[in-house]
Amino acid sequence: MLGSSRPRLSLPPVVVEVVRDHLAAEVDDNADALVFTTESGRPIWRGNLNKLIDWKAAVARLGQPHLHFHDLRHTGNTLAARTGASTRDLMARMGHDSSQAALIYQHATAEADRAIAQALHEALHEDRKTSKKSAGGAGRTKGQAGQEVGRQEGQEAVSGPGRRRG
C-alpha cells in the first residue's frame, strides 16, 4: 500500500489509460502488487532490466541504438518543462532538491522563443486595444516610435529613443 512518504505524480489521461489496461491484464488485484515484475513475479532492478526486456534489441528496432533507459526520463522531463511549468513545479515533479538539476530540462528552443513572442504579442495587442478605446482611437501609444527589434552580439534585443543598447 502507498504510504504518505511516497511521492504522488499526476499522469496525463492517455498514460492513465495505458497503465489501467496493463494493470487489468498483468497485475494481481492486490494493493501490494508490483506494477512491473520479472516473469517469476520478482521486482525489476536496474541490474536486470536491460537483460529482461532486451533493451539493445528493442532500441535497435526503433532505429535508436544509442538510446539509454534514463533518456526516457530526460524526454519526459523536457516535455513537462515545455508546458511552461515553473522551475519549482518541475523540481517537485522530478523529485529534485536543486533548481540546477531541474534547469537541465528547460532547454531554450526556437519553438519556446516563438511561443514567448506570441504570448507577448497577444498581451500587448490586447493592451493596445484597451488603450485605443480609452483614448478614443488615438494613434500610437508612447514608446512605440523608433523601436528596433533584433539582437546583435552584446546588445539588448529592443532599442529606441531613450533606451540603452548593449
For residue 6, what pLDDT band results from cuts at 50, 70 and 90?
A: low
User: How many CA atoms within 13 Å lie on the side-chain side of 115?
Assistant: 8
Q: Which residue has the cell 511561443?
A: 115
Rounded to the nearest integer, the mean pLDDT of the chain is 79
Distances (CA, A) of 103 to 122, 133, 136: 27, 42, 46
- The answer to whether 16 and 8 have CB atoms below 8 angstroms apart is no
- The answer to whether 155 and 165 have CB atoms below 8 angstroms apart is yes
Range 14-38 burial, b when 16+ CB lie within 10 A, else e: eeeeeeeeeeeeeeeeeeeeeeeee
pLDDT digit string (tens) for 82-95?
Answer: 888 889 998 999 88
**Strands of 20-126, DSSP E:** none
**Res 27: pLDDT:** 92
Domain regions of the chain by residue span: 8-67, 68-130
pLDDT digit string (tens) for 21-78?
Answer: 999 999 988 888 999 899 888 999 988 888 899 999 999 999 999 999 989 988 998 8
For residue 136, what pLDDT band results from cuts at 50, 70 and 90?
A: low
Nearest to 152 by CA among 163, 136, 165, 162: 165
Q: Please tell me the least confidently modeled range out of 65-69, 95-99, 101-105, 155-159.
A: 155-159
- Average the pLDDT over 85-113 and give the result: 84
Report the alpha-carbon distance of residue 27 to residue 21 in Å, rounded: 10
Which set of grid coordinates corresponds to residue 98? Answer: 536543486
- 8: three-class secondary structure by DSSP: coil
Report the alpha-carbon distance of residue 9 to residue 98 in Å, rounded: 19
